[in-house]
Amino acid sequence: MKLTDKGIAVVESDTHICKWIQESGRLDHDQNLLPRIAKYISSGDTVVDVGAYVGDHTICYSCLVGGHGKVLAFEPNAEAFECLQYNLSQSKNTQCFPIALGSNSGQSSIDDSCSNKGMAHLTKGTGVEVRSLDEINLDRLDFLKIDCEGFELEVLKGAKHTIERLKPTMLIEINDATLGRYGVHRNEVLLLIEQYGYSYENIYKGWSISGSQLDIICTKL
């Protein structure tokens, strides 16, 4: 972990998100995407951020839900989690968890060998705790963001009862390459979303969902 000249904690070796944070001078660097998400989150909401990395989305969610809301941020990569904790340390409405979410409880490991540290992903091994969202037994959930480098289907499976009970709006990354790492095709993710009673579209209004990497917004029918 290192601090930028703006006092933001970043993963020093990261060639992508942390580089963009340093260049923009702000943790919430993506001012193209984040304003499109903001309309789905209100003061007092509960938000779950799966794959929070260093908090580049989390900080935005924290501001949007305000003092009466709550954000739960999950990041299993130890170096990124250290930055996440530091960056959100003044956000009293946010809890950070150094665990991965999946379909079942267990253990995994992290492969962070890529220079794009935001693409660190779960692999076979131990050292990283994995839990399902259903185990956490939330009493409220208004918005669920899932961006976990190909593990999205497993997170959705482990959140079945939570999603069916609380009906959150969902933002989910679809990345054919990272899904393929786990032998998953995007249609499996989209079918499960439909089975949960949701419609979905590209977060960028009017854009198709045919691209190899995109974010979809999912709303209850």
In terms of Cβ atoms closer than 10 Å to its own Cβ (0-12, 13-18, 19+), residue 197 is exposed
Q: Are 213 and 177 in contact (CB under 8 A)?
A: yes
- Tokens 């990345």 belong to 175
* 93 closest CA partner among 159, 51, 33, 43: 43
Tell me, what's the pLDDT at 99? 97
Tell me, what's the pLDDT at 184? 98
Mean pLDDT on 121-132: 95
Mean pLDDT of the chain: 97
Q: Are 132 and 102 in contact (CB under 8 A)?
A: yes
Residue-wise pLDDT tens digits, 57-89? 999 999 999 999 999 999 999 999 999 999 999
Q: Are 172 and 152 in contact (CB under 8 A)?
A: yes
Q: What whole-number distance in Å separates Cα of residue 10 and Cα of residue 84?
A: 9
CA dihedral 100, 103, 107, 109 (to 10 degrees): -50
Q: Are 99 and 133 in contact (CB under 8 A)?
A: no
Sketch out the chain's domains with CATH numbers. 2-220 (3.40.50.150)
Residue-wise pLDDT tens digits, 146-187? 999 999 999 999 999 999 999 999 999 999 999 999 999 999
Q: What whole-number distance in Å separates Cα of residue 66 and Cα of residue 161?
A: 27
Q: What whole-number distance in Å separates Cα of residue 163 and Cα of residue 193?
A: 10
Angle between helices 58-65 and 78-87 in degrees, nearest 10: 30
What pTM does this model have? 0.96
